[in-house]
Structure 1
Amino acid sequence: MKDYQIEVTLTTSKKQKPAFNKLEFGRTFTDHMFIMDYTEGKGWHDARIVPYQSLTLDPAAVIFHYGQTVFEGLKAYLTKDEQVFLFRPNKNFERMNRSSERLCMPGIDEDFALEALKKLISIDRDWIPNIEGTSLYVRPFIISTEAHLGVSPSLTYSFIIILSPVGAYYKEGINPVKIAVETEYVRAVAGGTGNAKTAGNYAAGLKAQEVSNEIGYSQVLWLDGKERKYIEEVGSMNIFFKINGEIITPALNGSILEGVTRDSIINLLKHWNMPIIERKISMDEIFEAYKSGLLEEAFGTGTAAVISPVGELFWRNEKLSINNGETGVISKKLYETLTGIQNGTLPDPFGWRVIVE
C-alpha cells in the first residue's frame, strides 16, 4: 500500500438524521465524504475527508461530454454487538480497477482505498442504521475532470466516496418483484462496456426501465444484443433460475457485469452442494420450462437488493407466474444466509466480513 496521508476536516454543522425506519434508497447522505485527485505525471494526491458538499467542475470537464466515469456499490452493516462490518470490499475495488482500465482511467491503490473507506465510515459511524434490513450504502466513484472537448482520455480525475443510510432497494423488499423482458432495446454487447460498472450502461437502460414501469413492472430483464434471445441480466441485478432442481445463471460473456453478490451466491450454493451451472440460457428455454412446470424459482442478486425473488416475467405479451408469485425456498434461504453473514448474526465460513472497528 502506498504511503498516502489523509487530511481530515470535520463539519461544524451536522445534518439532521432521517428516521431509520423510513429510509428511501439513496436519498440521504452523511456528514462527510472522501476525495482524492489525480494528475497525469503526478499520480493520485491530496487525499482528504471533508464535509459533504457540492462539486465545482469546469463546464468542459470530460465527464459531462464523454461519460468517462466508473463507480461501485457496497454496504456497511452494524451488528447487534455494535461492530461495523463491510462485505467483501476488496472485490469492489478490484472491479473498480477493471472498469477503470476499460475506460482508460487510472487505477487506484485498492488497499489504500479500503483504509480511506474505513476511516470515512468511522467518522460517520452514527449514520449506520440499526434496524433490520437497513445498512449504510457506500458509493465510490471516479470522474474525469479535465476541461477539454477533444475526444481523448482525461488527464485529471477525482476519486470520491459518499455514504447513504438505506432501507430496501425495492419497495417489495424480499417479496417477489415483477420483471419485463426487454425485446426492443439493447443495453450492452460483448466488446463494449457491459462488464464495466460505468454510467453509460445505466443511462442506456433508462428508456426500457421507464416503459416497463408504465406497465407495472419494477425492472427490465435484458437479452443479448446480437441475437436478442439469450438472457443477460436485470437492470440492477444478475439473474438466476431454478429449473427442475438445477440452478442456472447466465455465464459471464463480456457484456454482463461480474456481480459481487452473484459470486457470493454461487459460492454459497456450491458450499451447500447444490447444482449450480453458469451457461447461456435463452428466453425460449425459460418459456418451455415454464410451460412444462419445471421453472421452479427465479431470483435476482445485487448489492442494493441482496436477493430479489422474481414472481412474474412479462414476455411477448404473456405473463409467466413463477412459484405462484411467491418467494421460493432457495431464494429465502439464500437471502437469510447472506444477510446473516453480512450483519454478523450467522458465522462467516468464507472470511467475507471485513471489520471497520
Structure 2
Amino acid sequence: MSAPKFDDLLSRVIRNLPDPHQNHRNPIGASQRLAVTLRYLATGIGLQALSASYKMGTSTVSGIMEEMCSAIWDALQGEFMAFPSRGQWQDIAEDFWRQWEFPLCVGAIDGKHVRLRAPARSGSDFYNYKGFFSIALMAAADANYRFIYVDVGAYGRESDGGVLGRSAFGSRLAEGNLNLPAPAVLPGTTTPSPYFFLGDEAFPLQVNLMHPYPGTNLQDRKRIYNYRQARARRVVENAFGILAARFRIFGRPIDCQPEKAVKIVKACVALHNFLASTEQARYMPASFVDTTADTGEVQPGEWRQARPSQRAALVREQLADYFLSDAGVFPHQYNVLRLGMRTDQ
C-alpha cells in the first residue's frame, strides 16, 4: 500500500473510530492504530511479537485489532462491498463475457477455510474435514477478482453447499430474489437464458447456479462445457489466492475467538476490494494472477509462488510459538526488539 493510499484509507476509517483521548493516560493516535493493524493483517505476525515491536501491551494491541477491523469494514463496505444493482449485475456479466468468454455469468462462488486456534469449549463444531479448526469464508467474485459477496463465520465442519444454503445470499439465490437481470439471449443466437453464478460440484445445480457435469468419461460437448466453466470460475480461486498472499494473517491459525476472527476476515476482504479497485497495478499487477496462453494452457500467477507449502508454514508457526514459550525463550531476544536492532541478521 502506498503512502497516499494509507492516508486515503485513514481518512475513511477515522470517521468510524471513537475519540482516542477518552483514554487520557495513554492515547494512541488513529494513524498508529491503523499502522499496527495493517502490519498484523499483512504479515501475520503474532500479537506478542507485534506488541513488543510497538512497545504496547498485548491486550492493548488485541483491542486495537478488534476496533480497527470493525472500523475498516464499516468504512469500506458501503462503497467497495455494496450489493450490486440490476445494472451492475449486467456490467459484471459483460466483464465475464469479454474477459473469460462465458456469457451471462454474474459471479463465481467458492468457499475457503480460515484457520483458527482451537476455540475453547467448541467441541468439533469448528473442526473441518481437512483436519484443522476453521471458520468458513463463502464468497462470490466478479471477473476482476473482486468480491461481490461474502459470508464469514460458519462452522468449519459445514460443507460449502451447506454454508451457502444457510446464508442470506443462498436463500435469496434459491428464491430468485437477488434482483438479477431478466433472462437474455446467448450472444449470436436467439436462445434465451437466465443469468447465473458458477460453482463447483459442492454446490447444488439451480437455475441461477451452474456446476460442472459430473463424471470422467464425458462426451466432448460436456468436457468443453466443463473446461469453459473452470476457466471462468478460476477468478474466485485467484481472488482467494491474492487475498491470502497479500494478507499473511491467512497463512497461520488466527489466535483469537471466532467472533473476533470474523472481524479480521471481513476487514481483509474489504481492504482487498479497496486496493483492487483503487490501486490495482500495485496490489495485483497482471503477472500476479493466472493467465491463459494462446494454446489455452494456464500460466500460474505469482500469488501461487508467494504461498509457502502448508506443512512448511505450520513448522514455522510451531517454531515461532516455541520461541515465545518458557521452554524456548532466549534471554536477549526482546532486547533486540526494544533497541530497534535488525531482526534479520
TM-score between both structures, scaled by the size of structure 1: 0.23
Give TM-score, length-normalised by structure 2. Answer: 0.24
Larger Rg: 2
More helix by percentage: 2
